[in-house]
Structure 1
Amino acid sequence: MPADVPGPPDPPAPGGEVPSSSPPPPHRLWTTGFVLMWAGQFLISMNFYLLMTVMALYAMERFGTDEALAGVATSAFIVGAVLARLLTGKYMELLGRRRVLHAALVLLALCAAAYLLDTGFRGLLVVRVLNGVGFGMATTVLPAAVQALIPAHRRGEGTGYFMLSTTLAAALGPLAGLSLSTAVGYGPLFVVCTAIALLGLAVGAVTRLPELSLSPEQRAGLRSFSVGQFVEVRALPVSALMLFVGVGYSAVLSFLNPFAVQAGLVGPAGAYFVAYAVTVLVSRPFAGRLQDRRGDNAVLHPALLLFVVALLLLAAADSPFLVLASGTVLGVGYGAVLSAAQAAAVRSAPLTRVGLSTSTYFLCMDLGVALGPVLMGTLVPALGYRGMYVAAAAVVALGLVYYAAVPGARSRRGRA
């Protein structure tokens, strides 16, 4: 069965998905389990965005660090997340998804509370790494487990709806983080983060995750230390696209505020991610249905092109209209790529490898987001922010060429 052609549901077999309760009807998507996992993913993502947007400034104001060390406080989180993803995709099937999720949620709650303590800058770095570990574990388990609750013929649509949890958090989190830190200070902000983490722990306690029933041969394979037990090779062609996409998105995430200050567009920049989120909420369900009916290429080709356009609009932005237009186009482009590429990666391997497929996808995404600020930041002194956004558009365009030549070409052959 080609990767972009929706196939029939997998029949029950040894080594297949064994839900902890009766499986949902074949056409039903919004089950109790789906809603609880959606809520858990939203709460975890809210804490991520609440903290990510204020952490560099917090490090500078609280510990008197320079910009470089403040950046380390932000990127330390990504280091923990990448390490966790490498291991979680493999060991969550051996240890049990529910057990791994509970451990991750406890760790996230402890880390949120630890921000309230006077740990010093080095202690902050330790907390950031551990926070990243918990985040990487939880956001590998939940997107992998939810695939068992999505009917096979609605894979793109269901994945798109699930990823709206992250999109909504991406719109609300930065705004709430900056507003709380400015209005009431960092202490109350960290109290809010702790409360959200505890609520996430409570949601996780009542969520029943579908578990894998592994054969002795599969368990033996997962206990080995070959590359194939840490990365799903069949998901790599699609997942590698996210290296390009992550670099492009990190240019927006990391440099929008300083660009807006320099260009005198601070007000419109504040509404940028709101415009992005509204567009995603409207467009993503349609993109998911299109992917299920017409295949991965029907969504990913135009979505990547629109992502390029969004970055070029930002490079040319000299008015509030162009800033908001960029955010709107970004929602249709990057927003569709995020869920469509994940659905394609999951569909490229058997459901018994869905955990590794998911971790491989997010690992590539994390690496792109981690490398992007370094690569794009080195261009700013020479090209300025506008030139840097043109370069970011070129990187995403390269990703489109790569996808058309490798996984996209494979999809076309499969449909022929």
Structure 2
Amino acid sequence: MGELEKEVGEKRLETPDKLFNKGFIGMTVINFVVYLVYYLLMVIIAVIAQDQLHATLGQAGLASGIYIIGTLFARLLMGKKLESYGRKAVLRYGSVFYLLTTVAYLYVPSIGILYVVRLLNGFGYGTVSTATNAIVTAYIPKSRNGEGINYYGLSTSLAAAIGPFIGMVLLNLTNFYFIIGFSIVLITITTIASFLFPVKNIVLSAEHRKLIASWSLESFIEKKVLFITFIAFLMGFAYSSVLAFLSSYAQIIHLVPASSFFFVVYALVITATRPLSGRIFDTYGENYVIYPSYICLAIGLLLLSFTTSNWMLLLSGAFIGLGYGTFMSNGQAICLKKCEGHQIGVALSTYFIGLDLGLGIGPYLLGELRRVMTFQEIYRIASLLPVVCVILYALFYQSKISLPKLQEIKGEK
């Protein structure tokens, strides 16, 4: 354990107070490109499956969703093996695999082959993103975890807005092969960067190596973050209603032009507020950030269900950005607060499994409700989930350090 703590300490001491160091910036940029390609391909793959492979709507939906299955497998396996394989190796060879499986899109003669390529590409994406999420923590000063994770989370949020926008523009102006070529160029750059990037591995004790070598549930799932992971599942489930149905809903309420700016507003709001939310997290504790995120998401989804005009649609996007966007990064910061050292990889993997499951299962279950409900009713049901999160969080979550204790410590200093 002493070696482990020494290694972690050395990495923290490289940049004791400076947040925007080379390591932090480099890993954030790599993560941005990885997520950008993920979102770019996600919005076009169903269209391609139907237009070029003559797939049914159900088959096209499976082609999109099977990606998440590959991602979940990667998070489970790499979350467990990250430290034993080494962060450096997982990042580098995961990037190579992500690149090769993206090249494989150039040869998809049938819907069956597309399923295989999507599954493997999802595994590559999950591997690289699991590695970047753990590696970046070594470059964040411990006293600025909340602020650092929120800045890092901007790479994901901006990719979620810019990726779909680029994908739709390229789909209208070019063709599938040009889009894949563009994606290959981006991933090639990040793959080269991952080999040039100086990643340090954590030195594990014999006890930790024994745990990783076992196939017990504890080696795959970090129990300390199970509660916040379940909350992440509910939040992801609620947000999936936006990702899955916004375009169809906008057509029904005749607000298609405004809907194209929905995620732009979402991204702008997150960009403007995330640094502040990170400082609040570090200064006053997670409760002062997490509770508002639940409330904002509930307001945003409820407002979306009553939307009849452009300004209401964009305002709902702002609230949803404040809600889900703020929670996503600060939930990750809670995981860092709960765990240290060798636990970080498994903890973050566990957390993102919850988010991915919510985003993956939500569209299917809510889509089944669409048979008997209107979109407005679905969004009202989705708005109840953040309220459930408020209740569960208030009843069962215990912060490691309360505000009075924090003030006491500050007073002593």
TM-score range relative to shorter protein: over 0.9
Corresponding residue for 1:37? 27
- 2:39 maps to which residue? 49
Of residues 222, 245, 249 in structure 2, which corresponds to 1:259? 249
State the structure with bigger RCO (CA 8 A, min sep 6), 1 or 2.
Answer: 1
Aligned with 1:103 (options 63, 79, 93): 93
The separation in 1 between residues aligned to 2:126 and 2:13, in whole angstroms, is 27
Q: Are 1:53 and 1:174, in contact at CA under 8 Å, matched by a contact in 2?
A: yes
* Distance apart, 1:399 and its partner CA: 1.8
What is the TM-score with the length of structure 2 in the denominator? Answer: 0.95
Distance 1:243 1:187, change over 3 A: same
Instruction: Letter of the 1:249 partner, please give it.
Output: Y
When the two chains are superposed, the root-mean-square deviation of aligned CA atoms in Å is: 1.8
Q: Write out aligned runs for 1:143-222 (5 A).
A: 143-222=133-212
1:278 corresponds in structure 2 to 268
Given candidates 45, 49, 74, the residue that maps to 1:59 is 49
Structure 2 matches for 1:326-337, cutoff 5 A? 326-337=316-327
Q: Compute the TM-score of the two structures, normalised by the length of structure 1.
A: 0.94
> Structure 1: 5+ residue runs without aligned partners?
1-11
* Matched residues, number: 405
Aligned counterparts of 1:179 and 1:25: Cα–Cα separation in 2: 40
Any idea what SS the aligned residue of 1:351 has? coil
**1:116 and 2:102 equivalent?**
no
2:364 equivalent among 363, 371, 374: 374
Determine the C-alpha separation between the residues in 1 that align with 2:121 and 2:338. Answer: 30
Alignment partner, residue 9 of structure 1:
none
Partner of 1:398 in structure 2? 388
The one-character-per-residue Cα deviations of 1:171-207 (angstroms, maximum 9, x if unpaired) are 1100100110111111111111111111111121111
Where does residue 411 of structure 2 map in the other structure? none
Determine the C-alpha separation between the residues in 2 that align with 1:404 and 1:344. Answer: 15
Matching residue of 2:3: 14
1:414 to 1:101, Cα distance in 2 relative to 1, 3 A: farther
Give the Cα–Cα distance (whole angstroms) in 1 for the partners of residues 74 and 179 of structure 2: 26
- Shifted more, 51-60 versus 204-213: the winner is 204-213
Cα distance in 2, alignment partners of residues 234 and 59 from structure 1: 41
Aligned partners of 1:272 and 1:327 also within 8 Å: yes
- Pairwise CA distance, 1:221: 1.4
Write the distance in 2 (CA, Å) between the matches of 1:83 and 1:250: 20
1:315 corresponding residue in structure 2? 305
Q: Which moved more, 1:110-119 or 1:224-233?
A: 110-119
1:247-282 deviation digits (Å, cap 9, x = unpaired): 011110110000001110101110000000000000
1:319–1:299: structure 2 CA closer, same or farther, 3 Å change rule?
same
- The C-alpha deviation readout for 1:291-346, integer Å capped at 9, x for no partner, is 00111111000111001001011111110000100111112111110111110012
Alpha-carbon shift at residue 396 of structure 1 (Å): 2.1
Does 2:375 align with 1:385? yes
Instruction: Answer yes or no: is 1:242 the counterpart of 2:232.
Output: yes
**Contact conserved, 1:16 with 1:212, CA < 8 A, in 2?**
no
Q: Equivalents in 1 of 2:138, 2:95: separation in Å?
A: 21
Give percent identity, aligned residues only: 32
Residue 363 of structure 1: how far off its partner (Å) = 0.6
Counterpart in the other structure of 2:60: 70
Q: State the secondary structure of the residue aligned to 2:197.
A: coil
Within the candidate set 344, 347, 364, 1:357 is matched to 347
What secondary structure does 1:208 align onto?
coil
Q: Take 1:271 and 1:200, find their aligned partners in 2: how far apart are those partners?
A: 28
Give the match for residue 136 of structure 1: 126
- Conserved 8 A contact 1:315-1:386: yes
Q: State whether residues 18 and 210 of structure 1, in contact with CA within 8 Å, keep that contact through their aligned partners in structure 2.
A: no
Structure 1 residue 350: Cα displacement: 2.4
SS in 2 for 1:147: helix
Q: Does structure 1 conserve the Cα–Cα contact (< 8 Å) formed by 2:286 and 2:330?
A: yes
Q: Is the alpha carbon distance of 1:250 and 1:56 closer, same or farther for their aligned partners in structure 2, counting shifts above 3 Å? A: same
CA-CA distance at 1:381 after TM superposition: 2.3
CA drift at 1:16: 2.9
Partner of 1:4: none
